[in-house]
Amino acid sequence: MQLPKIKSKALPALLTFVIAASAGLALSQTALVRGAQLVKVNLSGTVERKSGKVDIENAGLVNPGEVIDYTITSNNAGPIAAHQYKAVGPIPAQTVYVDGSAKAEGANVVYSIDGGKSFSPQPMIEQRQPDGTIKNVPAPVTLYTHVRFDWNNPLAANSHCSASYQVRIK
């Protein structure tokens, strides 16, 4: 798997973190928003094994069928709220999103099937029908590339939020 990358994008009224990772690493990123705002974002994970959950840093190689529980934690250490806060997590190559596993209190969850270019609560694909017509149908989770958490309320100053989701190793 590729080495992880964290990308952050800050606009005057919008803060979005895109976290790209591979199995085996935990990440941390701090960003400045509006020149003075500090939001620290951490991506951590555990691997579900027969013996119990193992921190991803200590898991070694991951095996087909194993599940990785990812947690994105964002801490706003700045003096003002981060409005329209969003966090985006990857669904790494050689993994598949575990349907229904994305959770974040106070956030809407949307998904991408195009590498994070667009998001939808239910991504759709075109499927040819037996009669030759094309019909839009829900995309299977095997096509998901990213999961995004859109918080309904600003991330208040000196507060934090978290989100989680799971992927299964192919």
What are the pLDDT digits (tens) for 143-170? 999 999 999 999 999 999 999 999 999 9
Whole-angstrom distance, CA of residue 41 vs CA of residue 8: 10
- CA 65-24-116 angle, 5° bins: 80
- The CA-atom distances, in angstroms, between 10 and each of 40, 72, 77, 89, 91 are 13, 18, 15, 17, 23
Q: Determine contact, residues 45/22, Cβ cutoff 8 Å.
A: no
pLDDT at 23: 38
Confidence (pLDDT) at 125: 97
**What's the pLDDT at 37?**
58
Q: What is the pLDDT of residue 51?
A: 87
Provide the pLDDT for residue 38.
74
Closest CA to 87 of 14, 141, 33, 38: 14
> pLDDT tens digits for 7-54?
333 333 334 444 433 333 344 454 444 445 577 888 899 999 988 999
Q: Render pLDDT for 83-136 as a digit per residue (tens, 0 to 9).
A: 889 999 999 999 999 999 999 999 999 999 999 999 999 999 999 999 999 999
Residue 141: φ, ψ to 5°: -60, -20
Question: Hey, is 57 helix, strand or coil?
Answer: helix
Residue 80 tokens, joined: 């003002």
pTM: 0.80
Phi, psi torsion values for 143, nearest 5 degrees: -95, -10
First and final C-alpha spacing in the chain: 12
pLDDT at residue 71, rounded to an integer = 96
pLDDT class of 78 with cuts at 50, 70, 90 = confident
What pLDDT sits at residue 5? 36
pLDDT at 103: 97
Calpha distance 112→90 (Å, rounded): 10
Integer angstrom CA distances of residue 82 from 6, 17, 67, 69, 162: 18, 12, 32, 26, 14
pLDDT in tens, 9-22: 333 333 444 443 33
pLDDT, position 132: 93
The full set of domains in the chain, from first to last, is 5-169 (2.60.40)
